[in-house]
């Protein structure tokens, strides 16, 4: 059992309701479904972005209905197409644009690593931008090309058509605030912030 799986199991035993309340929208809202490794971390990062109304951990990209943490990435023969860990970000369009959401996303992942993120390896943790329409796909492709220019490296972030978003179990939601010590230990041990700093150090535009 991996460190992260063990932490999730422990959290499930003492699961509580959502402990953090984000600001209510002042204008119309939109949603973005993004995958960037561990959904605990990506959710927590997006909760810090002004204009974000909610950030919900979940599963998407696959064909299994009503996935759970135990089966969302089942790759056994005959199983439905597996899901990826994602975060559904709801944001206030009067404060944030889709382009700004993508920019923030890229600055909080390692966009050069398509085989997973940080210590979490495999397709379940691959970075993906799920787009809902042609305009979002164009924006995602443009942003990806820009990031490649900024970093002067090959970008390995997939842009795919959005599928159904399935919220993860309650004990996964707002994990960072409900389990601060476990979360900080996991995030530090996984090297997420260290690697993000290495990738983006010196990039100012």
Which positions are catalytic? 38
Question: Quick count: other Cβ atoms within 10 Å of Cβ 125?
Answer: 22
Half-sphere exposure of 153 (CA within 13 A, CB side): 13
Sheet harboring 52-60: ordered strands across?
158-161, 128-131, 29-35, 84-92, 52-60, 166-167
Half-sphere exposure of 192 (CA within 13 A, CB side): 24
Could you tell me if 58 and 165 are in contact, meaning their C-beta atoms sit under 8 angstroms apart?
Answer: yes
Token pair, residue 58, equals 């979940």
């Amino acid at each position: 059992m991996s460190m992260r799986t063990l932490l999730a199991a422990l959290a499930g035993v003492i699961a509580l309701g959502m402990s953090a309340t984000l600001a209510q929208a002042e204008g119309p809202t939109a949603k973005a479904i993004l995958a960037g490794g561990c959904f605990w971390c990506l959710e927590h990062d997006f909760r810090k972005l002004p204009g974000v109304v909610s950030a919900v951990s979940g599963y998407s990209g696959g064909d299994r209905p009503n996935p759970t943490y135990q089966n969302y990435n089942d790759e056994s023969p005959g199983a439905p197409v597996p899901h990826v860990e994602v975060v559904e970000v709801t944001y206030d369009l009067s404060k944030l644009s889709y382009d700004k959401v993508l920019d923030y996303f890229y600055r909080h992942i390692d966009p050069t690593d398509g085989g997973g993120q940080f210590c979490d390896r495999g397709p379940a943790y691959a970075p993906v931008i799920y787009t809902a329409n042609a305009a979002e796909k164009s924006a995602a492709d443009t942003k990806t090309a820009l990031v490649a220019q900024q970093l002067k490296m090959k970008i390995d972030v997939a842009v795919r058509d959005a599928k159904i978003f399935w919220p993860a179990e309650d004990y996964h939601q707002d994990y960072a605030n409900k389990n601060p010590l476990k979360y900080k230990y996991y995030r530090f041990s996984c090297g997420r912030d260290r690697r993000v700093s290495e990738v983006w150090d010196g990039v100012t535009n």
